[in-house]
Amino acid sequence: MADETQTRTLGGLLRHARAVLQASGHDEAALDARLLVEHFTGATRADTILDPGRLVSAAQVLAVEAALQRRLAAVPVYRIIGERDFYGLRLRLSPATLEPRPDTEALVDLILPSVRAAADRHGACRVLDLGTGTGAIALALLREEPRATAVATDISLDALATAAANADINALSDRFQPLVSDWFDAVEGRFDIIVSNPPYIASKDIAMLKREVRENDPRTALDGGPDGLDAYRSIAAGAPEYLGSDGAIAVEIGYDQAETVPAVFAARNFALVQTASDLAGVVRALMFEPIGR
């Protein structure tokens, strides 16, 4: 616990939080400290810059101290806060969901033009989001294309409850249908777009993930089987029955799967038509269409 004289102001509390995280070797100590202090004191970024002498309450100091202890125990900062921004949305997190990450925005960027094109052709666009988690991908597409609707599946009731809450928070629940389903098992009808950020880590590699990931993200959302490709096989095998004749499929992939995942889809008569890369230039999203369409 810090000396009260050091933390009774907003600026002092921020300096203290940063010092605690820096002393533990956190790479993003300054950013994490700011996010935690702003969240638990209700301050804005402008407040921390323009009003560092603002008094903070003892309860707020204690809340920040507790948050710092969780961060030191490898709990990600956005899980401590309980929500995260994604593609202009504010999304709640839960233990049953992955934390949406910037890499996944590349998947939304990749498939969004196809969503809009389908809506132009048909007057509407039906999206199927497999393994929805927080609902991030489906909700981002709905926000960007008001003619779209989405069925969002997950095997976890808790994840679907989080996704439904996020749809409510972002005023998208009227076009968002959560569905308990193991991939396509409970899905009905055909869709213009099938999209997924499936589990793609090889089982043997889970133990090598960063502690923050392996101890906080649900294993079912990470483990892609012995070679990391089990989910892609399920999606590619089931898609022909549920994809419209002029539809497209888009999936997120691991950093080393730019060749193996296309081979899985090619075996089911899907052609790779476009890719998208993350900010580091690594291919992270793939789009497929039926061969010979």
The answer on pLDDT for 231 being more than 60 is: yes
- Of residues 6 and 185, the one with the higher pLDDT is 185
Q: Where in the chain is the domain with CATH 3.40.50.150?
A: 87-290
Element holding 140 (H helix, E strand): helix 136-144
Q: Indicate the fold that domain 87-290 takes in CATH.
A: Rossmann fold (3.40.50)
- Is 192 exposed, middle or buried, given 0-12, 13-18 or 19+ CB atoms closer than 10 A? buried
Give the pLDDT confidence score for residue 27 in this predicted structure.
85
Mean pLDDT (whole number) for 207-216:
93
Residue type, 282: V
| Phi and psi based region of residue 181 (left: phi greater than 0; alpha: psi -120 to 50; beta: remaining) | beta
Question: Tokens 């921004």 correspond to what residue?
Answer: 85
Helix (H) or strand (E) holding 32: helix 29-41
Q: Does residue 3 register a pLDDT over 90?
A: no
Block residue for tokens 């923050």: 212
Secondary structure letter of residue 53 according to DSSP = T
The 10s digit of each residue's pLDDT in 237-274 is 999 999 999 999 999 999 999 999 999 999 999 999 99
**Residue position matching structure tokens 């402008």:** 46
Rg (CA), the chain: 21
Q: Judge contact between 192 and 128, C-beta under 8 A.
A: no
Q: Is the predicted pLDDT of residue 2 greater than 90, yes or no?
A: no
pTM: 0.93
- Residue 43: pLDDT over 70: yes
Helical axes 58-72 vs 10-23, angle rounded to 10°: 20
Provide the pLDDT for residue 5.
Answer: 54
What mean pLDDT comes out for the span 176-182? 98
Whether residue 191 has pLDDT greater than 70: yes
Tokens found for residue 143: 């926000």
Model pLDDT, residue 292:
77
**Both tokens assigned to 274:** 């476009």
What does pLDDT average to over the chain? 95
Place of tokens 């089987």: 225
| Mean pLDDT across 95-122 | 96
- pLDDT > 60? residue 1: no
State the pLDDT at residue 7: 66
DSSP 39-102: HHHT--HHHHHH-TT-B--HHHHHHHHHHHHHHHTT--HHHHHTEEEETTEEEE--TTSPPP-H
For the segment 26-53, the average pLDDT, to the nearest whole number, is: 93
- For the chain, percent of residues with pLDDT exceeding 70: 97
